[in-house]
């Protein structure tokens, strides 16, 4: 079996490795460019739609302008410059043929009447110093090229001295012939009008497109606002109606139908839970009455404690299943609500301090008052079972209301802070549960916060215990 020399194997291997590396680098570069373009793109639908409309118009404007300048303006201007240079060349030949004459009035009249050129015969001197060339002036370049080609004599040209005229001086044997022509004879004069018309029409098209697009985007924004209000547990605005394009109307109708189905479901569940709650409480009340009639024996006291525990657990289960009971959001004074929670906690022997950021006026925002009070009360109760000192802090943070409940208890390990929100979850030395509680307090509080469009998070308190943070949008 033949074996390739090491050099051959290395030569075969290097191209493949280099190609693979180049491919990987190219893919990485493309991915980086795509991510960068994605970051630069606007996030809003209105801005993106405007870009979609503007981009083709700008491209079309650029293409048409290039075609016009390349095919029309440049070609016509070049021919006009060539024609002017030929007229000047012809006048120079006639002048040289009759240079013995002292009077060249007939030639000057011919140039003026037939060729529309102003001609003067000046004494022979040196031509003026060349003028500085403009940065961008195609007329100067084209006319100079044609005069050099047609006349083939020393010349001087001024295309910028007077805005509407071009001056040309040609040095002949015995004199300097001075020619003045209008710029209309040497270049296309309608280019500015054409460009102004294109820019003006583009601006008009863009204005109409933007106004039309704004009317099309407005129903989508209204639908988003209504969905946001509904997601926060607030009523849908009364002036919300399906408007806009057919697809937007379909989405709005589907949203309204979904809202009605959710309301019907909540009402049915609330009615069912009210009946269940009434029946079970009736049974427990009979148990308590019978146990009270049986006396104060140790067995009776144990059964009574179990019945009370069962009642507390039943209340928690019903509160978790009931949620916010379809309560409507109403303007609520946050300070007054927290002071009520403080007073309620004091009745049960739990001291609570309230620290609110100073404001000129009290903070009032739409809340499901009873449900939100239950959520904060659950956090305070959870803190009271494991801590001796509780502090409630309230402040606005951007577009959010932030309420913190701090205690000096043992806290919860960071790895378990998400798990304690799960219903019926139990951990060793758990804060949110013990033998006398169902463990639904934090789950109920989080559900209420989410029904307001917010959430609850747990962290480390500055007092050494647990910090429960509830955030809801303003």
Choose between 361 and 395: higher pLDDT.
395
Whether pTM exceeds 0.75: no
pLDDT per residue as tens digits for the range 413-471:
888 888 888 776 666 544 444 444 556 778 888 888 888 888 888 888 888 888 888 98
Which residue, 405, 408, 381, 399, is CA-closest to 465? 408
Q: Is residue 431 part of a domain?
A: yes
Q: Is residue 89 part of a domain?
A: yes
pLDDT at 435: 46
Q: Is residue 10 part of a domain?
A: no
N-terminal to C-terminal alpha carbon distance within the chain = 81
Report yes or no: 440 and 319 within 8 Å, Cβ to Cβ. yes
Query: How far is residue 23's CA from residue 18's CA, in Å, rounded to a whole number?
Result: 9
Three-class secondary structure of residue 174 per DSSP: coil
Choose between 435 and 225: higher pLDDT.
225
Please check the confidence at residue 2 and state whether its pLDDT lies above 50.
Answer: no
Question: Would you tell me how many other CB atoms lie within 10 Å of the CB of residue 178?
Answer: 15
Relative to beta strand 390-397, strand 352-356 is parallel
pLDDT at 436: 47
Which of 174, 189, 204 delimits the end of a domain? 189
Buried b (16+ CB within 10 A) or exposed e, 108-122: bebbeeebebebebe
CATH of the domain at 339: 3.30.565.10
Which residue, 380, 382, 399, 389, is CA-closest to 338? 380
Provide the pLDDT confidence category of residue 7 given band limits of 50, 70 and 90: very low
- Collect all residues with Cβ–Cβ distance below 8 Å to 432 and sequence separation of at least 6: 382, 412, 420, 439, 441, 442
Which residue, 295, 219, 230, 225, is CA-closest to 263? 230
Q: Is residue 288 part of a domain?
A: no
Q: Is residue 168 part of a domain?
A: yes
pLDDT at 8: 46
pLDDT per residue as tens digits for the range 171-210:
888 888 889 888 777 776 655 666 777 777 778 877 887 7
CATH of the domain at 83: 3.30.450
DSSP annotation of 43? S
Q: Where are the beta strands (DSSP E) in 183-259?
A: none
Tokens found for residue 348: 């049960």
Which of 189, 217, 248 delimits the end of a domain? 189
Which of 171, 189, 207 delimits the end of a domain? 189
pLDDT at 229: 77
Provide the pLDDT confidence category of residue 32 given band limits of 50, 70 and 90: low
Report yes or no: 383 and 437 within 8 Å, Cβ to Cβ. no
Tokens found for residue 109: 């009249």
pLDDT per residue as tens digits for the range 286-321:
777 777 777 667 777 777 777 776 776 677 666 666
Q: Is residue 210 part of a domain?
A: no
Q: What is the mean pLDDT of residues 122-133?
A: 80
Please check the confidence at residue 15 and state whether its pLDDT lies above 70.
Answer: no
Tokens found for residue 269: 């569940």
Domain limits at 151?
A: 68-189
Please check the confidence at residue 105 and state whether its pLDDT lies above 80.
Answer: yes
From residue 260, how far is each of 136, 240, 305 by CA, in Å?
Answer: 68, 14, 43
Tokens found for residue 88: 């000047």
Tokens found for residue 80: 């006009």
Average per-residue pLDDT for the chain? 76
- Collect all residues with Cβ–Cβ distance below 8 Å to 9 and sequence separation of at least 6: none
Report yes or no: 147 and 181 within 8 Å, Cβ to Cβ. no
Tokens found for residue 448: 């209420």
DSSP annotation of 160? S
Domain count, the chain: 2
Provide the pLDDT confidence category of residue 13 given band limits of 50, 70 and 90: very low
pLDDT at 434: 45
pLDDT per residue as tens digits for the range 377-409:
888 888 888 888 888 888 888 888 888 898 888
pLDDT at 320: 61
Report yes or no: 91 and 119 within 8 Å, Cβ to Cβ. yes
């Amino acid at each position: 079996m033949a074996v390739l020399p090491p050099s051959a194997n290395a030569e075969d291997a290097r191209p493949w490795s280099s190609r693979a590396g180049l491919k990987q680098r190219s893919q990485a570069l493309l991915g980086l460019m795509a991510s960068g373009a994605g970051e630069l793109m606007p996030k809003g639908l209105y801005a993106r739609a405007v870009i979609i409309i503007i981009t083709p118009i700008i491209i079309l404007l650029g293409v048409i302008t290039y075609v016009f300048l390349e095919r029309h303006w440049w070609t016509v201007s070049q021919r006009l410059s060539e024609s002017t240079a030929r007229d000047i060349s012809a006048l120079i030949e006639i002048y040289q043929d009759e240079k013995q004459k002292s009077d060249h009035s007939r030639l000057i009249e011919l140039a003026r009447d037939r060729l529309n050129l102003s001609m003067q015969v000046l004494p022979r001197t040196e031509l003026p110093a060349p003028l500085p060339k403009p940065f961008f002036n195609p007329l100067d370049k084209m006319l100079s090229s044609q005069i050099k080609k047609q006349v083939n004599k020393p010349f001087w040209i001024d295309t910028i001295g007077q805005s509407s005229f071009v001056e040309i001086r040609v040095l002949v044997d015995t004199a300097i012939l001075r020619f003045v022509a209008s710029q209309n004879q040497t270049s296309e004069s309608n280019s500015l009008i054409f460009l102004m018309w294109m820019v003006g029409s583009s601006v008009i098209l863009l204005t109409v497109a933007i106004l039309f697009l704004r009317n099309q985007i407005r129903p989508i924004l209204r639908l988003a606002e209504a969905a946001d209000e509904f997601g926060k547990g607030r009523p849908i605005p009364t002036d919300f109606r399906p408007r806009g394009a057919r697809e937007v109307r379909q989405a709005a109708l589907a949203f309204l139908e979904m809202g009605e189905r959710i309301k019907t479901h909540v009402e049915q569940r609330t009615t069912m839970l009210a009946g269940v709650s009434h029946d079970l409480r009736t049974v427990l009340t009979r148990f308590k009455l019978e146990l009270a009639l049986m006396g104060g024996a140790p067995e009776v006291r144990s059964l009574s404690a179990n019945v009370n525990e069962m009642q507390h657990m039943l209340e928690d289960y019903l509160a978790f299943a009931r949620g916010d009971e379809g309560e409507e959001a109403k303007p609520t004074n946050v300070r007054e609500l927290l002071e009520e929670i403080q007073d309620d906690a004091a009745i049960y022997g739990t001291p609570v301090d309230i620290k609110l950021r100073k404001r000129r006026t009290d903070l009032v925002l739409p809340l499901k008052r009873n449900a939100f009070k239950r959520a904060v009360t659950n956090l305070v109760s959870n803190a009271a079972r494991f801590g001796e000192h509780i502090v409630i802090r309230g402040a606005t943070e951007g577009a959010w209301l932030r309420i913190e409940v701090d205690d000096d208890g043992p806290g919860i390990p960071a790895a378990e802070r998400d798990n304690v929100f799960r219903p019926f979850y139990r951990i060793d030395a758990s804060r949110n549960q013990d033998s006398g509680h169902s463990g639904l307090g934090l789950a109920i509080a989080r559900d209420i916060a989410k029904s307001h469009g917010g959430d609850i998070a747990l962290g480390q308190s500055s007092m050494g215990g647990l910090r429960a943070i509830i955030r809801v949008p303003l």
